[in-house]
Structure 1
Amino acid sequence: MNINTVPHRRYNILTGEWVLVSPHRTKRPWQGKQEKRPQLDRTKYDEHCYLCPNNVRASGVKNPNYESTYSFINDFSALLSDTKKAEYNDGLLRAKSEKGICKVICFSSDHSLTLPLMDVMAIEKVIDLWQKEYLGLGAIEDINHVQIFENKGGMMGCSNPHPHGQIWAQSSIPREAEKKTRQQKSYWDKTGGSLLQDYLLQELDKKERIVVENKDFLALVPFWAIWPYEVMIIPKKHYQNIGQLSTDEKKNFAKIIKEITTRYDNLFLTSFPYSSGIHQAPTDGSEHEEWHFHMSFYPPLLRSATVKKFMVGYEMFADPQRDITAEYAAQALRDASNVHFSLDRLTVTEIVNADEIKVSETLTDETVNSTITKQ
Structure 2
Amino acid sequence: MNILPEEHRNEPHRRFDPLRGEWVLVSPHRGKRPWLGQKESPAPNDRPEYDPKCYLCPGNTRAEGAKNPKYDSTFVFQNDFSALLKETDDTVKSASDTPLFRSESVRGECRVICFSPRHDLTLPQMEVSEIRHVVDVWAEQTQELLQKYRWVQVFENKGATMGCSNPHPHGQIWASSSLPNGPAAEDRNQKAFFEQYGRTLLSVYLEKELELQERVVTENADWAVLVPFWAVWPFETLLLPKFDAQRILDLTDAQRNSLAAILKEFLGIYDRLFETSFPYSMGWHGAPGPLGEVQDTAHWTLHAHFYPPLLRSATVKKFMVGYEMLGEPQRDITAEQAAERLRALK
Q: TM-score if structure 2 supplies the norm length?
A: 0.95
Match of 1:364 in 2: none
The 5 Å alignment of 1:102-121 reads: 102-121=110-129
Match of 1:362 in 2: none
The 5 Å alignment of 1:315-354 reads: 315-336=324-345, 338=346
The structure 2 residue matched to 1:226, chosen from 226, 232, 240, is 232
Equivalent AA in structure 1 for residue 338 of structure 2: A
The CA deviation at 1:277 is: 0.5
The 5 Å alignment of 1:195-214 reads: 195-214=201-220
Unaligned runs of 5+ in 1: 339-375
1:69 aligns with 2:78: no
Match of 1:314 in 2: 323
Match of 1:260 in 2: 266
In 1, are the aligned partners of 2:11 and 2:29 still within 8 Å (CA)?
Answer: yes
CA RMSD of aligned residues (A): 1.0
Match of 2:147 in 1: 139
Classify the secondary structure of the residue corresponding to 2:14.
strand
The 5 Å alignment of 1:89-168 reads: 89-90=95-96, 91=98, 92-140=100-148, 143-168=149-174
Classify the secondary structure of the residue corresponding to 1:11.
strand
- Aligned mates of 1:281, 1:126 — CA distance in 2: 20
Match of 1:31 in 2: 36
Greater displacement, 171-180 / 81-90: 81-90
- Aligned mates of 2:259, 2:48 — CA distance in 1: 28
The structure 1 residue matched to 2:88, chosen from 83, 90, 104, is 83
The CA deviation at 1:137 is: 0.3
- Aligned mates of 2:287, 2:69 — CA distance in 1: 32
The CA deviation at 1:287 is: 4.2
In 1, are the aligned partners of 2:40 and 2:161 still within 8 Å (CA)?
Answer: no
The CA deviation at 1:247 is: 0.9
- Aligned mates of 1:299, 1:139 — CA distance in 2: 32
1:289 aligns with 2:294: no
The structure 2 residue matched to 1:301, chosen from 287, 306, 310, is 310
Task: Give CA deviations for 1:197-241 in whole Å, capped at 9, x if unaligned.
Answer: 110010011110000000000000000000000011000012000
- Aligned mates of 1:121, 1:302 — CA distance in 2: 32
- Aligned mates of 1:5, 1:98 — CA distance in 2: 46
In 2, are the aligned partners of 1:100 and 1:171 still within 8 Å (CA)?
Answer: yes
The structure 1 residue matched to 2:26, chosen from 17, 21, 26, is 21
Q: TM-score if structure 1 supplies the norm length?
A: 0.88
The 5 Å alignment of 1:345-364 reads: none
Match of 1:178 in 2: 184
Task: Give CA deviations for 1:234-277 in whole Å, capped at 9, x if unaligned.
Answer: 00012000111111110111111111111111000111110001
- Aligned mates of 2:324, 2:247 — CA distance in 1: 31
In 1, are the aligned partners of 2:226 and 2:238 still within 8 Å (CA)?
Answer: yes
In 1, are the aligned partners of 2:234 and 2:331 still within 8 Å (CA)?
Answer: yes
Match of 1:372 in 2: none
In 1, are the aligned partners of 2:24 and 2:330 still within 8 Å (CA)?
Answer: yes
Match of 2:54 in 1: 49
Match of 1:280 in 2: 286
The CA deviation at 1:191 is: 1.6
Equivalent AA in structure 1 for residue 332 of structure 2: D
The CA deviation at 1:35 is: 1.8
Classify the secondary structure of the residue corresponding to 1:46.
coil
Task: Give CA deviations for 1:152-177 in whole Å, capped at 9, x if unaligned.
Answer: 00010001111000000000000110
Equivalent AA in structure 1 for residue 69 of structure 2: P
Q: Please identify runs of 4+ aligned residues in structure 1 that moved more than 6 A.
A: none
1:271 aligns with 2:280: no
Greater C-alpha radius of gyration: 1
Equivalent AA in structure 2 for residue 327 of structure 1: E
Task: Give CA deviations for 1:118-145 in whole Å, capped at 9, x if unaligned.
Answer: 11100000000000000000012xx100
Classify the secondary structure of the residue corresponding to 1:19.
strand
The CA deviation at 1:187 is: 1.1
In 2, are the aligned partners of 1:194 and 1:238 still within 8 Å (CA)?
Answer: no
Classify the secondary structure of the residue corresponding to 1:169.
strand
- Aligned mates of 1:151, 1:72 — CA distance in 2: 17
Match of 2:14 in 1: 9
Provide the identity percentage: 53
The CA deviation at 1:41 is: 3.3
